[in-house]
Amino acid sequence: MKKLLLSLSVAIATLSTPAWATTLSGLDFKSVMRGLYAGKMTNCVVDDEDLESYPHVCLDEVSDPDMPEFSTLALMHPVISFDNQNGQKRYLLMIEKVALNDEGMPTSGRIGSAKVDLYLFKKTNQGYELINRNAQDEEMAGSWGRVHLDLNDIKSSIQPFGKGIMGAMFESGYCSTGSCETYWYALMLPEHGDIKTVFVADAGLNNEGMYEETHPLYYNYESTYKVMPSGSLYYPIQIHYTGEKPDDDYERIHKVNEKHTVRFNPATGQYE
């Protein structure tokens, strides 16, 4: 009977321990890469000043199955800290994985992004314990082979997004042939269940690169957001649009000053 209980206890402990459970001695670049990417680090050519401005190392990973000759460069972004809803300090770490061509430059076009590993830590007497992360190699919103997630902006906007869930909003989009379009995304930072990014709503659109403001075909509208605490598991988000907006077929342009509220649907994993 004792052996049965012991076996059951071990099985339960094993099931309740995440496969990626680990504790790092520090959150500096060397400790992070040795602790999370041991056996994967290698050398490659990097020829981009912005990429080289980050702590970086190449990984022995295939960045694009269709282009196995591409290299994968891991960039470590500055670690940010925030308090969860219980007032406990948490640390968010982002490793951006950029695909490089044989000349050491990003490979993706204007709508291509990069993969990202996000890690959430808490500090203990033993070091920094990993308590959650996103799905491995998740592709984040971005363009030109880079992500549009600035952790300094995230730090300034982290707030409750639901019951026990912290999160932050960020914008992503791209410009092409004189026009720019942007979208709102939510970065969800739960301590149970995957960290993830979720599309929220259209953020804005303009053609300032094509027309002066006095031109009849000119348009430019922007938006702000407001997370609205409620009794729901995920809080609704209100988007306030202002400016001059074209209709769906771009035949008419009209002034807007309107608010729309979107709500998270757990069944679809999206705001609607």
* 187 and 238 both lie in a single domain: yes
Which pLDDT band, with edges at 50, 70 and 90, does 255 fall under? very high
**Which of 116, 149, 182 is at the close of a domain?**
149
Calculate the dihedral angle through the C-alpha atoms of 63, 66, 70, 74, rounding to the nearest 10 degrees: -10
Rounded to whole angstroms, what are the CA distances from 240 to 12, 71, 203, 258?
48, 42, 9, 6
Q: Does any domain span residue 138?
A: yes
- Please report the pLDDT score of residue 1 as a whole number: 44
If asked whether residues 114 and 216 sit together in one domain, one would say: no
pLDDT at 124 over 90: yes
Tell me, yes or no, whether 44 lies in a domain: yes
Per-residue pLDDT tens over the stretch 78-114: 999 999 999 999 999 999 998 888 888 887 655 567 7
Residue 116 lies in a domain: yes
Tokens in use for 64?
């694009």
What pTM, to 2 d.p., does this model score? 0.85
145 and 68 in a single domain? The answer is: yes
Residue 188 resides in a domain: yes
Asked whether residue 129 falls in the same domain as residue 30, the answer is: yes
Residue whose structure tokens are 């000053």: 257
Cα separation of 113 and 146, whole Å? Answer: 5
Distance CA 185, CA 201 (A): 7
Q: Confirm whether 175 is domain-assigned.
A: yes
Single residue among 149, 180, 202 that ends a domain in this structure: 149
pLDDT of residue 212: 95
**pLDDT averaged over every residue in the chain:** 87
Q: What is the mean pLDDT of residues 245-256?
A: 93
- What's the pLDDT band for 5 if we cut at 50, 70, 90? very low
Same domain, 65 and 163: no
What does the pLDDT read at residue 63?
64
Would you say residue 261 has pLDDT above 80? yes
Segment 172-180 shows an average pLDDT of: 86
Mean pLDDT, rounded, for 240-265: 95
Same domain, 36 and 138: yes
132 lies in the same domain as 223: no
Structural domains counted in the chain: 2
Residues of the domain holding 90? 19-149
Residue 62: pLDDT band (50, 70, 90) is: confident
Q: 212 and 247 share a domain?
A: yes
Question: What pLDDT shows up at residue 146?
Answer: 78
Say whether both 118 and 189 belong to one domain: no
Q: Which of 119, 149, 179 is the last residue of a domain?
A: 149
> Could you read off the pLDDT of 211-229 as tens digits, one per residue?
999 999 999 999 999 999 9
Residue 13, domain member (yes or no):
no
Q: Is 71 exposed, middle or buried (0-12, 13-18, 19+ CB in 10 A)?
A: buried
DSSP codes of every residue in 254-269: EEEEEEEEE-EETTTT
Report the pLDDT value the prediction gives residue 3, as an integer from 0 to 100.
41
pLDDT at 21: 58
Span 258-264, average pLDDT: 97
